[in-house]
Chains A and B, each alone.
Chain A
Amino acid sequence: MTSALVVDAALILLVLGLALWITAARAAYGAAVGFVAYGLLLTLVWVRLAAVDVAMTEAALGSGLTGLLLLGAAARLAPYEAAEHQRRPGLGLRVLVGILCAAIAAGLAAVVLLLPDPAPSQALAVAAHLPATGLGNPVTGVLMAYRAVDTLLESVVLVPALIGVWSLSTEMSWGGRPGFLTPCRSGSALPLLARMLPPFGILVGIHLVWAGADDPGGKFQGAAVLAAMWILVMVAGLREPPPVSDRLMRFLLVVGPLCFIGIGAAGIRLAGAFLAYPEAYAKPLIIAIEVGLTISVTAVLGLLLAGPPVPEPQYQRQSRRRS
């Protein structure tokens, strides 16, 4: 027990040290690199908290995809960074803000120390009703059955997020290809990696979705891995991102939410409530939704990273620069 406590304390020191680095680093690029390492350490924390499903999501989304997004932005914004340092608030103000933030942290810490014991929990209720869904993983059960409305809204909200990103394009670039992922220079090792890794990555992604019914995993974790493989191929310059006017791509973006809403609406007739599943078909219906959502979430995550469309001439120029 004490050795576990020592490991936990060391992990916490590392996490806090990296959080300090992210806050204090002089260059945004260094802070973004720190954020990737921070996400990987948080993954270990989630494993220590017995939340393997969350650990997978954190590793793939919180650390990997968010890290790539922030690194790309830091590289693009580097020319404007020098002017920012002069706008730093004065020492007195920083000390005052520091004291107030420390007070908020202390308040939260007090809440943590004063949490009720025994802790309130829905774990037994979830475990008691899990067999009715045909699932073995309680987290997937919560996501797909007990709190299906949350999951539905979440999968739907990804589409407006992408529309928000796309709507930042200029008028003349509308219909072009997304331009955030500038492909690497030819001759680097990335194209080789982008040829060798995706077969395994796609297998792992599909396995995560399929195994998510009974073991840790699920559509979000699987979709994040699949999206990472797609992004790797795009960054290596092996495939171009699809134009935003592509009809098939747009259909894939919404097929998951549509499938979810359709099955949910059918539940009103068949099982008496929106998003209720008739008990005999619960598992096949849940798997159908999971597959649809995996496709849509993969497409949305990849395109969110690919950014708003740029005019075709600019895209060609970017692509030529690498070769």
Chain B
Amino acid sequence: MSGTTLFGLCAAALVGLGLYGLICQPGALRKILAFNLIGSGVFLLFGVIAQRGGGVLALAGTGADGDPVPQALVITGLVVAFAATAIAVTLLVRLAETSARGTLEGDEPAPPAPAGERRP
């Protein structure tokens, strides 16, 4: 078994772990963290595919780099993932400031915000 395959198996495990955290963690910030774990697992799968695709370059004798197309997609993905995380975190902080809770459950009425908090 090669190192590249090992990294692929690691990526699969990361997706599984992230999914578990996303479902089982009650706190929304923990869900965002878990979602980033899933994302990094998916990016790593792309990296494994890029590394395997680079094999043709090694055969042609032009270098040991990976396939640049999946790598470029991962770079694009990392930037977009950061932007999405930033929006999610800002939404969550705003939710906590206005309703004094850090979860997404909205069944019962939220307790009033502590004094001194700004209101919408």
- Do these two chains really belong together in a complex? yes
Partner-B contacts on A (CB < 8 A): 4-5, 8-9, 12, 15-16, 19-20, 22-23, 28, 31-32, 35, 38-39, 42, 45-46, 48-51, 53-54, 57-58, 61-62, 65-66, 69-70, 72-74, 76-77, 80-81, 83-85, 87-89, 93-94, 97-98, 101-102, 104-109, 111-113, 115, 118-124, 126-127, 138-139, 141-143, 146-147, 150-151, 154, 157-158, 161-162, 164-165, 168, 170, 173, 180, 218, 220, 297, 300-301, 304-305, 307-308, 310-311, 314
- Is B75 a contact partner of A54 (Cβ separation < 8 A)? yes
Instruction: Find out whether the CB atom of B55 lies under 8 angstroms from the CB atom of A112.
Output: no
**Docked complex: B1-29 residues within 8 A CB-CB of A:** 1-21, 23-27, 29
Within 8 A of A (CB), among B48-95: 48-57, 60, 62, 64-69, 71-76, 78-87, 89-94
A97 touches B3 (CB 8 A): no
- Among A20, A89, A154, A301, the residue within 8 A (CB) of B76 is A154
Question: Cβ of B89: which chain A residues have Cβ within 8 Å of it?
Answer: 69-70, 72-73
CB-CB under 8 A for A28 and B86, given A4-B3, A20-B17: no
Q: Considering residues B37, B86, B102, which has the most beta carbons from chain A within 10 angstroms of its beta carbon? A: B86
A8-B7, A138-B65 as given contacts; A51 in contact with B120, CB under 8 Å: no
Q: Are A150 and B20 in contact, CB atoms less than 8 angstroms apart?
A: no
Contact A112/B69 with A101-B23, A218-B75 known, Cβ cut-off 8 Å: no
Known: A31-B30, A105-B13. A124 touches B21 (CB 8 A): no
The secondary-structure label for the interface of chain A is helix
Report if A142-B27 is in contact (Cβ < 8 Å); known contacts: A108-B12, A311-B118: no
Whether A97 and B20, one on each chain, are in contact in the complex, defined by CB atoms closer than 8 angstroms, is yes
- Judge whether A54 and B54 touch: CB under 8 Å: no
Q: Closest Cβ of chain A: how far from B4's Cβ, in Å?
A: 7
Q: Which residues of B are at the interface with A, using a C-beta cutoff of 8 A?
A: 1-21, 23-27, 29-30, 32-34, 36-37, 40, 43-45, 47-57, 60, 62, 64-69, 71-76, 78-87, 89-94, 96, 100-103, 105, 118-120
Q: Given A20-B17, A49-B48, do A170 and B120 touch, yes or no (CB 8 Å)?
A: yes
Q: How far is the CB of A43 from chain B (nearest CB, A)?
A: 11
Inside 8 A of A307's CB, which chain B residues have their CB?
A: 90, 93
A101 to chain B, nearest CB (A): 4
User: Is the pair B54, A121 in contact by a Cβ cutoff of 8 Å?
Assistant: yes
| Known A-B contacts A45-B7, A80-B102; A61 and B82 likewise in contact (beta carbons under 8 Å) | yes
Query: Which of B17, B27, B45, B101 contacts A28, CB < 8 Å?
Result: B27
**In the assembled complex, which residues on chain A have CB atoms less than 8 Å from the CB atom of B103?**
83-84, 87
> CB-CB < 8 A to A124: which residues of B?
56-57, 60
Q: Which of B27, B53, B71 is A139 in contact with, Cβ under 8 Å?
A: B71
Report the Cα distance A30→B39, complex, angstroms: 20
Cβ distance A300 to chain B, nearest Cβ, rounded Å: 8
Q: Which residues of A contact B43 (CB under 8 A)?
A: 54
Q: Which chain B residues border A220 with CB–CB below 8 Å?
A: 75, 78-79
Closest residue of chain B to A8, judged by CB?
B3
- Among B9, B52, B65, B90, which residue has its beta carbon within 8 angstroms of that of A119? B52
Complex contacts, A32 vs chain B, CB 8 Å: 29, 33
Whether the pair B44, A120 counts as a contact (CB closer than 8 A) is no
A112 close to B9 (CB less than 8 A) = yes
Contact across chains for B85 and A23 when beta carbons are under 8 A apart = no
Q: A170 CA to B81 CA in the complex, in Å?
A: 26
**A182–B31 alpha-carbon span in the complex (Å):** 24
Q: How near does chain A come to B18, taking the closest CB pair, in angstroms? A: 8
Q: Are B68 and A48 in contact (CB under 8 A)?
A: no
